[in-house]
A and B are shown apart, each in its own frame.
Chain A
């Protein structure tokens, strides 16, 4: 394995692809699932609330690192089936974890909308779902962009945790230079990839905030 800047960069990009895939797929599933979970944790049925809040408690109360290991090993231990693909296990663990976190962001946003907005919709004869999708949702989106950007930027860096079940993500690649050739700078260099990625996200979130700046909520 060459240790010139170009070689290292190509290698690290190879690893960072995995981080990007897990990032993208996690968002794809967790953003809608989180909304569903948020609605469940505000359900009028106590049993539904208890189940979803317990789920959120467990997921937020245990390390993501551990959750990745559990998803990878526990099916085999309990059901005597072969373990899932390493990438699948990582993605499943991330989706579960981030669904819980996102649901709390959604819930905070939804509960911050004044009751008068719902009532105004009601007296105009709108259905519950019309009120939610036509009146409430965009206001929620506007309010949750700042906390949501926090979570999503954390997700970028959390993807590095998947190396615990030997997914060859970027830091795992970088570490091979230490063990194989006793060179440490590629590890530090890998930080640049995260930094750039988060820089782009920060710009995107800023643009989204400006895009919704035409109204106040």
Chain B
């Protein structure tokens, strides 16, 4: 049973069609790797899933619930979109941590704000906040930052910042966690620790969609690989098939270029 189904996603910016009808589905607990050269539409696809861009066509469903249907404006409302976003998490290429909060503060901020909507928040505030902090500490420890909870982003290395960003996304307990080239802004020696953190998530069966240029990592973590080219899916399938046995000249030359 698919947890995520994206169907016929179209997106254009001005005269440029960036996504030309992308469809895929993803099983719960599996990971999907999006590969393709810059400008192929990977980032736009992730941004559509996270409602940072509104697709011009297509539908997005999670757990068989249609979250977005381009043809149905009632699925586009601002307040509705905010709730639907919570099905997804997004880790950005540039981390985008909040500089004025500590690592722990970055992780607890959104859960604390969300908890205000809970019934009984006022009467149980202290306990709820303590629980959120406890969970956040646990998540930061999982990504190997138990000793960096009180550091501010500028005091952390790029790899540590990105792991805080992963912890921040995890704290919202999304159904599907998306990564937009999570190691592209990092020095090679720092990407290893971030990739290791993501690998551990896949072992815990967190459902993930990962745009990446790290083919070895994609092969290892993903159960499914999609090769995007010019906004369309050119090849898809299990990594051993797509990466080891490319069917198209485009994918062959792409793999030759990145490996």
B128 at the interface (CB under 8 A from A): no
A122 CB within 8 Å of chain B = yes
Q: Decide yes or no whether B253 CB sits under 8 A from chain A.
A: no
Write out, one digit per residue, whether chain B residues 83-106 have a CB within 8 A of any chain A CB (1) or not (0).
Answer: 101101110101011111000000
Q: What 1/0 flags go to A62-101 for Cβ under 8 Å of B?
A: 0000000000000000000000000000000000000000
Q: Mark A107-151, 1 if CB is under 8 A from B, else 0.
A: 000000010110111111111001000110011001000000000
Query: Is B50's CB within 8 Å of the partner chain A?
Result: yes
Contacting pair B100 A123 (CB below 8 A): no
Complex contacts, B82 vs chain A, CB 8 Å: 122, 125-127
Contact between B100 and A217 (Cβ–Cβ < 8 Å)?
A: yes
Q: Quick one: which of B50, B98, B99 has the most chain A CB within 10 A?
A: B98
Taking a contact as CB atoms under 8 Å apart, the answer to whether A116 and B100 are in contact is no
Interface-lining segment among B69-77, B107-115, B198-206, B215-223: B107-115
How far, in angstroms, from A171 to B176 measured CA to CA in the complex? 68
User: Are B85 and A125 in contact, CB atoms less than 8 angstroms apart?
Assistant: yes
Instruction: Give the contacting residue for A117; candidates B85, B96, B114; CB below 8 A.
Output: B96
Q: Are B85 and A122 in contact (CB under 8 A)?
A: yes
Instruction: Tell me if A214 is interfacial: C-beta within 8 Å of chain B.
Output: yes
A215: contacting residue among B51, B99, B110, B114, CB under 8 A: B99
For A139, the chain B residues whose CB sits under 8 A away are 99-100
Mask, A178-217, CB within 8 Å of B = 1, is: 0000000000000000000000000000000000001111
How many chain A residues touch B (CB < 8 A): the figure is 22
Q: How far is B114's CA from A76's CA once the two chains are assembled, in angstroms?
A: 54
Verify B98–A120 contact, CB threshold 8 A.
yes
Please judge, given known A-B contacts A125-B86, A135-B98, A216-B154, whether A119 and B52 are in contact too, CB under 8 Å: yes
A213 to B153, CA, bound (A): 13
The count of chain B contact residues (Cβ–Cβ below 8 Å) is 27
Beta-carbon contact of A116 and B110 below 8 Å? no
B129 within 8 A of A: no
Which positions 176-194 of chain B face chain A at CB distance < 8 Å?
none
Closest to B172 in A: A124
> Within the complex, which residue of B92, B152, B154 is in contact with A120, where a contact is CB–CB below 8 Å?
B92
B170 nearest CB across to chain A (Å)? 11
- B172/A120 in contact, CB under 8 A: no
Contact among A119, A127, A134, A142 for B109, CB-based, below 8 A = A134
User: Shortest Cβ distance from A65 into chain B, in angstroms?
Assistant: 40
Closest to A127 in B: B82
Q: Using Cβ atoms and an 8 Å threshold, which residues of chain A touch B89?
A: 123
Q: How far is the CB of A133 from chain B (nearest CB, A)?
A: 10
Taking CB atoms, residues of chain A closer than 8 Å to B154 are 215-216
Least Cβ–Cβ distance between A210 and chain B, in angstroms: 15
Partner of A116, one of B50, B96, B152, B169: B96
**Chain B min CB distance to A186 (Å):** 48
- Does B168 make an interface contact (CB < 8 A)? yes
CB distance from B32 to the nearest CB of A (A): 18
Residues on B with beta carbons closer than 8 Å to the beta carbon of A125: 82-83, 85-86, 110, 114, 172
Shortest Cβ gap from A100 to chain B (Å)? 28
CB distance from A109 to the nearest CB of B (A): 14
- Cα distance, A45 to B117, chains bound together (Å): 30
Q: Measured between alpha carbons, how far is A214 from B114 in the docked complex, in Å?
A: 26
A119 touches B92 (CB 8 A): yes
What separation, in Å, do the CA atoms of A135 and B109 have in the docked complex? 9
Q: What are 17 A-B pairs at a CB distance below 8 A?
A: A120-B92, A122-B51, A123-B50, A124-B109, A124-B110, A124-B168, A125-B82, A125-B85, A125-B172, A126-B82, A134-B109, A134-B113, A135-B109, A139-B100, A142-B100, A214-B100, A214-B152
The 3 A-B residue pairs whose C-beta atoms are closest, nearest first, are A124-B110, A116-B96, A120-B96
Beyond contacts A214-B100, A215-B99: 15 other A-B pairs, Cβ-Cβ < 8 A, are: A121-B110, A122-B50, A124-B109, A124-B168, A125-B82, A125-B83, A125-B110, A126-B113, A127-B82, A135-B109, A138-B100, A216-B99, A216-B152, A216-B153, A216-B154
